């Protein structure tokens, strides 16, 4: 049975908490957008005009994901504020009657924005996984399936709320099946993807040590990347697990957790971009490789995967005699390749 926590008190607390979290997300989102368009150590793109940089940023999936998340999360927050005014100012039956009525169209729209935000955030995480694993499609089969499950449950759950009648509980058996499945699918996607991303970063750092790569800079970018991913993944997975637990126990606190679910997903997503963009731009490290051709090709491929952030996370100098086409595509992404990387960067900048 639902607990005895007052509905109005929970709803008012939800407005305050979500507004604070939305403010944090807004700052991180703007920071992510600026760092994509105007990277702090964008040496190769220094001569590009502002319009040209914006045009280049629009072509990046991460930039599109940031914009889509901003629209969906902002839409959800606006719905929360409108419901507050509807309950306090315009409701003839009072705030309690208004908040207990889940058949309103505005509530259904809120649910739709939540689902859209979760789908976008999970899609961007899968994209990061795909890029970091050198565009290996086999690695993303499982998260693609869980993403499809999330989409199905999101559409189904939103449709259920669209057909609610006044007085119907949010904990009805039909709704529970959709909502809990929704949470499980996004939880599986994040645990799987974050684990493989963390493993890939750890394995790359380990191989670079054993293969003779020498770090020259003062920081350890790979260790920082691993810590950033673990912390961001822990934030979102913990929030999702708490939501599943509170909803399964039919606690009214789940209303706060659910309404802040989307903005927490956005914070977790943007936090990675901002921390990498700011931290790695200030403390770049340069790795000089003296390993064999097979390892050289591997380092080049790994350099391309950092576009998934997409900041200027790592500068790598490798000695190689071939396979420079991939490096040309990275010239405006902060990754250098080979002793002639400066020449290649200037040429690619001129071609752009």
> 179 vs 116, 154, 240, 285, CA distance in Å?
14, 8, 12, 45
pLDDT of residue 120: 96
Confidence tier at 294 by pLDDT (50, 70, 90): very low
Q: What is the rounded CA–CA span in Å between residue 257 and residue 241?
A: 10
Give me the phi and psi of 316, to 5 degrees please: -120, 130
Q: What is the rounded CA–CA span in Å between residue 309 and residue 316?
A: 16
pLDDT of residue 336: 37
Q: pLDDT (tens digit, 9 = 90+) per residue, 303-320?
A: 334 444 443 344 444 444
Longest Cα–Cα distance in the chain: 77
Q: pLDDT (tens digit, 9 = 90+) per residue, 22-75?
A: 999 999 999 988 888 877 765 545 567 777 777 887 888 888 999 999 999 999
% of the chain exceeding 70 in pLDDT: 71
pLDDT of residue 3: 62
Least-confidence region, from 3-17, 190-204, 254-268, 289-303 = 289-303
Phi-psi region of 177 (alpha: psi -120 to 50; beta: other; left: phi over 0): alpha
pLDDT of residue 323: 41
Does pLDDT of 324 surpass 70?
no
CA-based nearest residue to 14, from 250, 271, 269, 263: 263
254 and 2 Cβ atoms separated by less than 8 Å: no
Alpha helices in the chain (DSSP H): 7-37, 50-58, 61-85, 95-100, 105-132, 141-162, 173-210, 221-248, 254-259, 261-282, 293-305, 325-328, 341-351
Q: pLDDT (tens digit, 9 = 90+) per residue, 179-198?
A: 999 999 999 999 999 999 98
CA-based nearest residue to 162, from 119, 218, 110: 110
Mean pLDDT over 249-271 rounds to 93
Q: What is the rounded CA–CA span in Å between residue 172 and residue 166?
A: 13
Does pLDDT of 211 surpass 80?
no
Q: Residue 214 pairs with which residues in a beta bridge?
A: 288
Does pLDDT of 326 surpass 80?
no
pLDDT of residue 45: 52
Confidence tier at 281 by pLDDT (50, 70, 90): very low
Q: What is the rounded CA–CA span in Å between residue 60 and residue 310?
A: 8
**How, if at all, do strands 315-318 and 286-289 pair?**
parallel
39 and 45 Cβ atoms separated by less than 8 Å: yes
Give me the phi and psi of 216, to 5 degrees please: -105, -30
CA-based nearest residue to 211, from 130, 283, 296, 145: 296
Mean pLDDT over 162-180 rounds to 90
Cα end-to-end distance, the chain, whole Å: 63
Query: Which residue ranges does the chain devote to CATH 1.20.1070?
Result: 7-212+220-282
pLDDT of residue 47: 63
Q: pLDDT (tens digit, 9 = 90+) per residue, 111-144?
A: 999 999 999 999 999 999 999 999 999 999 999 9
pLDDT of residue 229: 77
Determine the CATH number of domain 7-212+220-282: 1.20.1070
Confidence tier at 279 by pLDDT (50, 70, 90): low
Least-confidence region, from 205-209, 235-239, 243-247 = 205-209
Structure tokens, 207? 């191989």
Q: pLDDT (tens digit, 9 = 90+) per residue, 73-117?
A: 999 999 999 999 999 998 888 999 999 889 999 999 999 999 999
Mean pLDDT over 316-326 rounds to 41
Q: Tally the residues of the chain.
A: 352
The rounded mean pLDDT for the chain is: 77
Phi-psi region of 315 (alpha: psi -120 to 50; beta: other; left: phi over 0): beta
pLDDT of residue 352: 35
């Amino acid at each position: 049975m639902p607990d005895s926590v007052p509905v109005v008190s929970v709803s008012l607390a939800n407005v305050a908490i979500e507004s604070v979290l939305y403010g944090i997300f807004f700052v991180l989102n703007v920071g992510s957008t600026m760092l994509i368009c105007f990277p702090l150590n964008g040496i190769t793109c220094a001569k590009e005009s502002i319009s040209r940089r914006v045009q280049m940023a629009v072509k990046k999936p991460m930039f599109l994901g940031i914009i889509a998340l901003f629209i969906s999360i902002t839409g959800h927050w606006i719905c929360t504020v409108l419901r507050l005014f509807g309950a306090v100012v315009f409701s003839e039956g009072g705030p309690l009657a208004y908040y207990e009525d889940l058949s309103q169209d505005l509530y259904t729209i809120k649910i739709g924005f939540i689902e859209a935000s979760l789908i976008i955030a999970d899609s961007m995480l899968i994209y990061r996984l795909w890029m970091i694993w050198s565009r290996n499609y086999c690695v993303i089969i499982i998260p693609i399936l869980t993403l499809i499950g999330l989409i199905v449950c999101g559409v189904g759950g939103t449709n259920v709320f669209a057909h609610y009648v006044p007085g119907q509980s949010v904990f009805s058996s039909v709704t529970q099946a959709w909502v809990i499945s929704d949470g499980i699918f996004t939880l599986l996607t994040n645990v799987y993807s974050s684990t493989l991303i963390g493993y890939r970063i750890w394995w790359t750092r380990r191989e670079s040590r054993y293969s003779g790569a020498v770090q020259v800079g003062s920081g350890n970018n790979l260790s920082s990347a691993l810590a950033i991913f673990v912390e961001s993944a822990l934030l979102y997975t913990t929030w999702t697990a708490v939501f599943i637990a509170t909803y399964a126990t039919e606690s009214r606190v789940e209303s706060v957790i659910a309404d802040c679910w989307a903005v927490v997903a956005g914070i977790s997503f943007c936090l990675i971009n901002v921390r990498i963009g700011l931290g790695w731009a200030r403390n770049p490290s340069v790795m000089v490789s003296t390993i064999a051709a097979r390892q050289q090709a591997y380092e080049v491929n790994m350099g391309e995967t950092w576009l998934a952030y997409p900041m200027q996370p790592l500068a790598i100098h490798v000695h190689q005699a071939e396979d420079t086409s991939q490096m040309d595509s990275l010239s405006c992404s902060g990754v250098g390749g080979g002793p002639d990387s400066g020449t290649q960067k200037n040429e690619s900048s001129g071609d752009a």
